[in-house]
Amino acid sequence: MRWILEVAYIGIATSWKWLLGSTAVVAALVGILFGVGVLGGGGEAGTTDNTPLAASPTPTPAASPSPTQAASPSPTQVVTPTATPQPTVAPAAKFISVPVLATRANNVGSLEFVLVYDPAKLELAQVERGLLSGNALIDYSSPGPGRLWAGIIDINGLDGSGPVAVVKFKVRDNVGGTMPLSLESISAYDANTLVDILTTTTPGEFTGAALTPLSPIVTFQ
């Protein structure tokens, strides 16, 4: 553009005709330049930048792992439970109660007897008063294996028939058969006169398969 201005300046200085001609030439050149886009496409201020913008790349979604690509779970080890041996339950102990019966008692102030039993099959547990001796004093001891001594005292005197004592035994394991129960060393006295009272006895027995024994009996004369 500088040379164009210089030509115009020279023309103005030479003559007005030359100025008119130069103006026409300059106008023609400016029109040609605008036509070819020289003046409008430069990098001067105010011009439009027609450079196309680069399209932003579309993000590609990350491929999700397919179910078949997932790590296979490690196999679970199955532990077979070991059978725990069950404790052996001992059978419950069996007890029997043997009533010692008295018949035809009449003012009996005291009574002593020895009950004989099989210690290999029966174990003495305890001795209690019977219905006939409900208010009496009773004592007992074991003078030897298989022998029970019992003493009963009633100052009012025993009258009637019924159990004068109840002996409780524990039955030993694996017991069977018949076990005799007998009375020995009987002594009885009148509550008022202290005279001996004659007695007789009847043995009893216990069968291992039964729960109710046959009671031994003391009979007053």
User: Is pLDDT larger for residue 221 or for residue 28?
Assistant: 221
Q: What is the pLDDT of residues 42-56, one digit of tens each?
A: 444 444 455 554 455
* pLDDT band of 175, cuts 50, 70, 90: confident
C-alpha span between 141 and 151 (Å, rounded): 9
**Listed range (27-31, 206-210, 216-220) with the worst mean pLDDT:** 27-31
Residue 45, pLDDT score: 44
* pLDDT band of 207, cuts 50, 70, 90: confident
Amino acid identity, position 100: V
Q: What is the 3-state secondary structure (H, E, C) of 98-125?
A: EEEEEEEEEEEEEEEEEEECCCCCEEEE
CB burial class (10 A; 0-12, 13-18, 19+) of residue 168? middle
C-alpha span between 8 and 4 (Å, rounded): 6
Amino acid identity, position 153: I
Distance separating the N- and C-terminal Cα atoms of the chain: 172
Q: What is the pLDDT of residues 137-159, one digit of tens each?
A: 999 999 999 999 999 999 999 99
Handedness of CA 38, 42, 46, 47 (dihedral sign): positive
Task: Classify strands 94-116 and 217-220 as parallel, antiparallel or unpaired.
Answer: parallel
**Tokens in use for 179?**
């076990």
Name the percent of the chain lying above pLDDT 90. 48
Q: CA nearest 103: which of 201, 182, 191?
A: 201
**Listed range (9-13, 24-28, 160-164) with the worst mean pLDDT:** 9-13
Number of H helices, E strands in the chain: 2, 8
Beta bridge mates, 152: 111, 138
User: Can you state the angle between helices 16-36 and 2-14, rounded to 10 degrees?
Assistant: 160
**Tokens in use for 212?**
């109710």
- Decide: 219 and 200 in contact? Cβ < 8 Å: yes
Beta bridge mates, 171: 94, 122
C-alpha span between 154 and 133 (Å, rounded): 7
* Other Cβ atoms within 10 Å of 21 Cβ, number: 13
Q: Which of 35-39, 83-87, 100-104 has the highest mean pLDDT?
A: 100-104
For residue 188, report the phi and psi dihedrals to the nearest 5 degrees: -140, 150
